[in-house]
Every structure is written in C-alpha cells, then in structure tokens.
C-alpha cells in the first residue's frame, strides 16, 4: 500500500524536491502556523491556569479566550494541512514513522480540544451569570492543562521527526 501511494505521489515528491522555493514556502508555512497556534494557545492557557480554581470567569476573560481560540483553531488547521503536504512529499518515510503519526494524532487532539474549549466559552458567554449556571472554569482549566501538555509533546515529536 505504501509503495502504491509513493508511486501515485511521486510527481508531487519530485516537484517538492526540485523546487527550493516551494519546499521553503511549505516548511515556513508549517512552522509559522505551528508557532502562532502554539504561542497563542499557550498564552491563553496561561491566563486560565493562573486564574484561581474557585474564581468565576471574568467578563473580560471569556471574550479574550474566545477570540484567541479562533486563531488557534485556524492555525492548527493550516499546520495539519501543511504537515500532510510535507508528509506526502516523502510518504514512504512518514507512513511508517511512529513519531509522525504521534504528532499528527496530538495535533488532531489539540484541534478537538480547541473546539471543545470554544464551545464551553460560547456557552458560558451565552449563559452569563444565570442562576444555577455552572462555572466553566474547571472544564476550561482542564482543557488548558491538556493544551499546554499537548504543545510540549508537539515540540518534542517535531524534534524526533527532524532527527530521523
């Protein structure tokens, strides 16, 4: 199956290998998108994690988190798409790489976590301070911890992949 894919993707692999500007642009897009997604996410996660556990979400915190989450999700989507394009340029190597698949899985988990956080934030903004409304903070803090750890794993796996 990998040989069949490698044969089908050979024109792309040749173009990628022969075009310095294309490979440079795609690698740059991948790294910059990951940098932006991770940087914005870790900054937002930090805001959640320094909020005291019993404290209610402030009126400024939720809109800020909601605004940053859209950027993170968009940048993660670009990271995933550019990563797939990079991998298909050398499918025979990446198809059997445990580190590549672990990184792809972690990126998808981060994307799903970001979508979950966005839903929690939207529900909290919609419900506001309604009587009996549950605080979104415990769920958001758990997601922030997962996000923070996920970004560390992404960096480690990226280093493992780059070292072959």
Please give the model's pTM, rounded to 2 decimal places: 0.80
pLDDT-derived band at 12, boundaries 50, 70, 90: very high
| All domains of the chain in start order, with CATH | 2-162 (1.20.1420)
Give the mean pLDDT of 48-68. Answer: 73
DSSP annotation of 128 reads: T
Check pLDDT > 90 for residue 7: yes
Spatial distance between the Cα atoms of 159 and 148, rounded to a whole number of angstroms: 17
DSSP state of 55: P
């Amino acid at each position: 199956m990998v040989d069949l894919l490698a044969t089908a993707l050979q024109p792309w692999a040749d173009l990628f290998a022969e075009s310095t500007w294309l490979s440079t642009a795609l690698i740059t897009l991948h790294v910059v998108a990951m940098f932006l997604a991770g940087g914005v996410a870790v900054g937002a996660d930090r805001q959640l994690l320094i909020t005291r556990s019993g404290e209610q979400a402030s009126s400024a915190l939720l809109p800020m988190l909601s605004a940053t989450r859209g950027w993170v999700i968009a940048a993660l989507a670009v990271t995933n798409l550019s990563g797939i394009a990079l991998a298909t340029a050398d499918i025979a190597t990446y198809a059997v790489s445990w580190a590549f698949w672990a990184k792809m899985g972690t990126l998808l988990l981060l994307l799903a976590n970001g979508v979950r956080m966005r839903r929690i934030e939207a529900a909290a903004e919609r419900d506001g301070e309604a009587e009996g409304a549950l605080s979104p903070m415990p769920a958001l803090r758990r997601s922030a911890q997962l996000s923070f750890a996920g970004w560390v794993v992404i960096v480690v796996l990226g280093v493992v992949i780059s070292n072959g």
